[in-house]
């Protein structure tokens, strides 16, 4: 009976907490690079993913297999950014843990890219990606500092400073920066946000009735143990 109670107690804890999952993902495989945007490949329940797009200061003059490529990064223009994100359904919120993505610049493309979020209206970067020449960069970015997110959320990638990836002068408008899948020992993993989706605090969350039922069974079990002892 005690064992049963412990199992029930564990079930109560599980019923009350959401599991980490892919919140939204974009598959860059087979993308030509110069497409207008990349549609999301999937999203968790209660999540609507946005297209991955370029800000109006960027162009799509160049292809780049398996990517969303971009150019026009010269100078300092507030509209030079790549943006993607998602919308959370009413009554729900997301707690993000990670963003997975691969990136690459050409030698004259941006050398330093900052990852910004809509949580603070893209004011301060939560992560910095350094592009070394035209090498690929694999990034697993910790987003746990963003807290719980209701409504619309997006990430923007802006250049920090204006120095090209080969450290040989200012970023050129003909230089490129692309978003690719994350590469891990032979396999490509979609660009993705990982986190948990749960009912907002203060609303009536779906898992709670289950937790209450389980708690009831747990108390019955506990009563059984007490009877046995006395």
User: Nearer to Ca ion by C-beta: 58 or 119?
Assistant: 58
State the DSSP string of the chain: -HHHHHHHHHHHHHHHSPPPEEEEEE--TT-EE--S-B--SEE-TTEEEPPBEE-TT-B--S--TTEEEEE---S--TT-EEEEEEEEPTTEEEEEEEEEEEEEE-TTSBSEEEEEEGGGTT-S-SEEEEP-TT-EEEEEEE-GGG-EE-SEEEEEEEESSSBBTTSSSBPPTT-EEEEE-EEETTEEE-EEEEEEEEEPTTS--THHHHHHHHHHHHHHHHHHHHHHH-
Tell me how far, at minimum, the Cβ of 158 lies from Ca ion, in Å: 8
- Closest residue by beta carbon to Ca ion: 57
Tell me how far, at minimum, the Cβ of 135 lies from Ca ion, in Å: 19
- CA 85 from centroid of its chain's CA atoms: 7
Does residue 20 contact residue 194 with C-beta atoms inside 8 Å? yes
Query: Which residues of this chain interact with Ca ion, rule CB under 5 A?
Result: 57, 72-73, 77, 80, 159, 162, 171
Tell me how far, at minimum, the Cβ of 112 lies from Ca ion, in Å: 10
User: Nearer to Ca ion by C-beta: 114 or 195?
Assistant: 114
Tell me how far, at minimum, the Cβ of 35 lies from Ca ion, in Å: 19
User: Nearer to Ca ion by C-beta: 141 or 163?
Assistant: 163
User: Nearer to Ca ion by C-beta: 72 or 102?
Assistant: 72
User: Nearer to Ca ion by C-beta: 48 or 76?
Assistant: 76
Tell me how far, at minimum, the Cβ of 79 lies from Ca ion, in Å: 7
User: Nearer to Ca ion by C-beta: 98 or 166?
Assistant: 166
Tell me how far, at minimum, the Cβ of 187 lies from Ca ion, in Å: 33
């Amino acid at each position: 009976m005690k064992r049963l109670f412990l199992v029930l107690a564990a079930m109560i804890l599980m019923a009350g907490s959401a599991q980490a999952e892919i919140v939204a993902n974009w598959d860059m495989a087979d993308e030509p690079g110069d497409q207008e945007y990349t549609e999301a490949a999937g999203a968790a329940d209660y999540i609507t993913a946005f297209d991955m797009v370029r800000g109006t200061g960027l162009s799509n003059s160049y292809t780049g297999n398996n990517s969303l490529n971009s150019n026009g990064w010269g100078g300092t223009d507030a509209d030079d950014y790549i943006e993607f994100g998602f919308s959370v359904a009413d009554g729900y919120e997301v707690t993000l843990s990670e963003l997975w993505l691969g990136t690459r610049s050409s030698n004259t493309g941006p050398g330093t890219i900052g990852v910004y979020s809509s949580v603070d209206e893209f004011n301060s970067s939560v992560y910095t990606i350094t592009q070394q020449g035209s090498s690929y960069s694999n990034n697993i970015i910790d987003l746990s500092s963003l807290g719980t997110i209701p409504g619309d959320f997006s990430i923007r990638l802006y250049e920090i400073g204006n120095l090209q990836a080969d450290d040989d002068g200012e970023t050129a408008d003909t230089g490129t920066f692309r978003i690719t899948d994350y590469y891990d020992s032979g396999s490509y993993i979609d660009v993705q946000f990982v986190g948990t989706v749960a009912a907002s605090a203060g609303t009536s969350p779906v898992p709670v009735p289950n937790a209450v039922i389980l708690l009831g069974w747990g108390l019955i079990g506990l009563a059984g143990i007490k009877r046995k002892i006395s």
